[in-house]
Chain A
Amino acid sequence: KAGVTQTPRYLIKTRGQQVTLSCSPISGHRSVSWYQQTPGQGLQFLFEYFSETQRNKGNFPGRFSGRQFSNSRSEMNVSTLELGDSALYLCASSSLVNTEAFFGQGTRLTVV
């Protein structure tokens, strides 16, 4: 069974630009969550999607948004990038039973 796939693995963007990250969950998993990992703040929850609906949202500004498609694939978008948005962005998927969340390898975003 293929794991959670995140693309791209690495990304360099300039301040003010926008970026879209992609996540393909494990086949059959309908819940996709996004997390931001930075050295200072650790792993922080961004939002969670289930069946194309945002079910849960963390404490991030509106520049961070996401969506989920009918095949459960998810994208997250960050607009008007700031230097502080440089981080590892992790996607996790879980099944209906929801007792484990499986993480992808992450997308390393660098804002210059």
Chain B
Amino acid sequence: DQQVKQNSPSLSVQEGRISILNCDYTNSMFDYFLWYKKYPAEGPTFLISISSIKDKNEDGRFTVFLNKSAKHLSLHIVPSQPGDSAVYFCAASATGGADGLTFGKGTHLIIQP
């Protein structure tokens, strides 16, 4: 049973536009959420996180929104840049921190010039 779902395996966005990556979860015990970016042959790189006590967290071009009632979070990247092309993973934990993470299967974001 997949507790963290990223339903779009891939997403294509034009350079300069907004990229919106979505993630749904089923486990109501999850209280901490993170987004990671991964290039081939490299480990995931941490982007941004959000605690369940917040509904929005912003860091530069990256904003994460959390809708607890819908068990849904999204990552917004504005403006999208060519270097943003990568696989993005949504992850969740029930420990209040970044351990024992449950990951989604990832969304491949392609930024087109």
Contacts and interface: CB of A to CB of B under 8 A. Distances in A.
A48 B99 contact: yes
Contacts, number: 70
A102 B106 CA distance: 18
A42 interface: yes
On chain B, which size bracket covers the interface? 20 to 34
Interface in A70-112: 90, 92, 94, 97-106
A99 B47 CA distance: 12
On chain A, which size bracket covers the interface? 20 to 34
20 contacts: A4-B43, A6-B43, A35-B101, A42-B104, A43-B44, A43-B91, A45-B100, A56-B100, A90-B43, A94-B97, A97-B97, A98-B98, A98-B99, A99-B32, A99-B97, A99-B98, A101-B34, A101-B99, A103-B46, A104-B43
